[in-house]
Structure formats: C-alpha cells, structure tokens
Amino acid sequence: MGMKRKDYDDALEPLTLELVSMARWAKASGARIVVLFEGRDTAGKGGAIGAVRDSLNPRQCRTVALSKPTEAELTQWYFQRYVAHLPSAGEIVLFDRSWYNRAGVEKVMGYASEAQVAAFLAAVPAFERLLVDDGILLFKYWLTTDQECQEERLRERLEDPLKRWKLSPIDLAAREKYDDYTAAREAMLAATHTAHAPWTLVDFNDQKRGRLTLVRDLLSRVPDTHEEPAAIEFPPLEREPAKEDYGVLKPIADYPVD
C-alpha cells in the first residue's frame, strides 16, 4: 500500500525547509549543482523533480527537459547541447533525463548505433570528471520501478484525460522491452558508476516514499548548507493601504454546498 498523502506532506515539510536553506547556501557560496533524474517511463521523475524544485526560486533552480535533437544538433558533439544548460554560480539545474538518453532510450529503441552507444559509454566518465573537477556538484539518480507498477501507471495515463499527454508511442513500445531496458541500464552502470560521479538507485515503486528518500539523500550529500535568510526590516505603511478598484475581475463565487 502506498504512503498516505498526509504522512507524505508531513515528512516533506521539514525537508522542503532544508532545500530552501540549501538554495540560499548555493547562492551565497556560488555553488553549481546538477542533479540527473533517470529511470524507466512512469518511474516518477516529474514528481521527484517537483519535490525538489517547487518551493525554490525558479530563477535559481530550473528544470531541463530537452526534446529530440534537431538536424543541426545531430551533427554536433553529443554532449554539446547539454553543456549549454549547465549552471552558473549559485544555480541548481535538474535534468529530466539527460545525456544518458544515449545509453537508455536511444540504445533500446534503435535511435543510436552500437558504435555510438559504445563511444558514449567510453566518454562519459571523462566528461563527468571535467564537470566535477571544475567544481560542479553532480548527483545522478536512477528511479527503479517493477514492471507491474509500470503497467499500472501506463494504464492510469491512458484512462486519465489529465495525464494522457504523458503517454507516447515510445512509452507503449517500451512495454515489450522491459528486459532490454534492464540490460541497457546494467551496461550503463558498469561503465559510468565512478568514484567521482556515482549512481544512486532509488526504489520508486511507492513514489511518495521514493521522493522522500531521494530528497533526504540529496540533502545529506551536499556540504553543510544551513544558511539563515538575510534579515529584512518590514516597517508598517505610513498611510492606509490602497485598493485595486479598476477593471479587476472579481473572484469566482463560492460553489453551493450540497
């Protein structure tokens, strides 16, 4: 049985305060933070990203979710379009899928050749070494999901008009390739789980517990980030507060209670 919403909200609240403090610390120290969210379709990447991002300043913490490469990008160095989104001082960047597309979706669905995948796996440790040596704090999370849970979530997307947009032909094709994705992930981990950029696998069969686990782990791995907010004086107004009174739509009326 999944975690109840109230229990989840109660557990997330103190972690959210720590995330806000972490963001203040990043801004004050000039830290650059990159977090990769990878996993199967329906694993819960969007919800996990939301748990990290939703209470932070969107000008400081941004999500990168790239669409398929353009014709021009296909001719570039593979990492080039991802490098353009790396953080500046004080920024936090959350990748909703990342350069690891090549080792997962592109490999399994045949969008990249075996030679391209092999070249990618050989290059990633060096690429990530450059990022880490330059001072970027890099965290790589893989969200694990059993096939039974994946099937249930795909069916939910199909039946829920508010989630139907999340369901793509690639998602449906991936249903028959669960084992292929497992093999691709294991090859990826073997080649790219390094001391300078290790992978962390998180159980996301219960998405709420998974989010809490991921956020706690992230907070435990950044340096001591406690940063008190700057003191701001808030004197009272010297006149009566003004009211908006021109051309403003009034709030919608309360619905009748049955």
pLDDT on residue 257: 64
In a domain, 146, yes or no: yes
pLDDT tens track for 219-230: 999 987 777 888
In a domain, 84, yes or no: yes
* Residue 85 confidence class, pLDDT cut points 50, 70, 90: very high
Number of independent structural domains in the chain: 1
pTM metric for this prediction: 0.89
In a domain, 256, yes or no: no
- DSSP state letters, 212-258: HHHHHHHHHHS-----PPPP---PPPSSPPP---SSPPPPPPPPPP-
In a domain, 134, yes or no: yes
In a domain, 187, yes or no: yes
In a domain, 251, yes or no: no
Number of Cβ within 10 Å of residue 174's Cβ equals: 21
Domain carrying residue 174 = 5-221
In a domain, 137, yes or no: yes
In a domain, 17, yes or no: yes
- What is the average per-residue pLDDT within 198-205? 97
- What is the average per-residue pLDDT within 181-185? 95
pLDDT tens track for 134-152: 999 999 999 999 999 988 9
Q: What is the domain-level CATH number for residue 133?
A: 3.40.50.300
